[in-house]
Amino acid sequence: MIQLDLRGQVAVVTGGSSGIGLATAELFLQAGASVAICGRDSDRLARAERELRERHPQAQLLAARCDVLDANDVAAFASAVEQRFGRADMLVNNAGQGRVSTFADTTDEAWREELDLKYFSIIRPTRAFLPMLKSTAKQGKNASIVCVNSLLALQPEPHMVATSSARAGVLSLIKSLAVELAPEHIRVNSILIGIVESGQWRRRYDNDAAAQAAGQSWQDWTGELARKKHIPLGRFGLPEEAAQALFYLATSLSSYTTGSHIDVSGGVARHV
């Protein structure tokens, strides 16, 4: 992999306490960046912070409890980052989770919750960190926003109707943001992921009573699902694989790319 020296740059990763966010925080630390992560669960956050500090004893790391859907939390997180590091260069909007439901079993309330999560997990952190990103861009330095989106945005699944629909809207939002912020030299991109091994899928495995009763291993469970879902590469993605695409889009490696997305779906995308 190309080595980048990100010392002096600050990367903010929402939902950095698990899965893709944690793997992304790790990549930024490896490259020498200062990193701020957030999540809602204090124990999970403390565990992630401990792990990262063990592997990177010199890490410039801030781990803050923050629900990205709470405007006050997000404002407090942004001001903690400003106080600690004095700047933000790259914002990774990653926090969130999917909702498994068909049209028949999605209530109005569930629709609102899902739209709220998908839109405001981007809108709130973007708004809060924009002043710092603008000042980074004014110094002529790389300033970027990258969002974790899903292939469902382009290829909806009926069993995830609300998530798919919200993901499509988010793809449009990201394009609009990219156009609006391009004159200010802030790039905005996203990744479209398929299935990535992460906390969400670990929890589904743990809660699959049949698999647990049969003593099915994690490897066999994910392998069977990959076959059922016809994933051409034959397996789930790893958090590190999503993180590498996020790293590329966040850093100056992708300095001429904005309003775009990278497919990290193992070949599941059917469109040309």
Is there binding between residue 188 and ligand NDP (CB under 6 A)? no
Is there binding between residue 40 and ligand NDP (CB under 6 A)? yes
Go through 113-122 and write b for each residue having 16 or more CB atoms within 10 A of its CB, e for each that does not: ebbebbebbb
Q: How far is the CB of 112 from ligand NDP (least distance, A)?
A: 15
d(CA 22, CA 210): 30
| C-beta nearest to ligand NDP: residue | 19
Q: How far is the CB of 205 from ligand NDP (least distance, A)?
A: 12
Q: How far is the CB of 39 from ligand NDP (least distance, A)?
A: 3
Is there binding between residue 17 and ligand NDP (CB under 6 A)? yes
Query: Which residues, in sequence order, are bridge partners of residue 261?
Result: 190
Give me the 198-227 binding string for ligand NDP, x by CB under 6 A, dash otherwise.
xxxx--------------------------
**Of 235-264, which residues contact ligand NDP (CB under 6 A)?**
none
Q: Centre a 10 Å sphere on the Cβ of residue 220 and count the other Cβ atoms it contains.
A: 12
* For ligand NDP, the closer CB: 24 or 185: 24
Q: How far is CA 156 from CA 151, 166, 169, 260, in A?
A: 8, 10, 12, 19
Please check whether residue 23 is in contact with residue 199, taking contact to mean a CB–CB distance below 8 angstroms: no
d(CA 157, CA 148): 18
Please check whether residue 101 is in contact with residue 160, taking contact to mean a CB–CB distance below 8 angstroms: yes
Would you state the structure tokens that stand for residue 181, as one six-digit string?
């912020």
- Position among 9, 18, 164, 244 found at the interface with ligand NDP (CB under 6 A): 18
Give me the 109-138 binding string for ligand NDP, x by CB under 6 A, dash otherwise.
------------------------------
- Position among 25, 27, 96, 266 found at the interface with ligand NDP (CB under 6 A): 96
d(CA 174, CA 188): 7
What residues line the site for ligand NDP (CB under 6 A)? 14-15, 17-21, 38-41, 44, 66-69, 94-98, 148, 150, 193, 195-196, 198-201
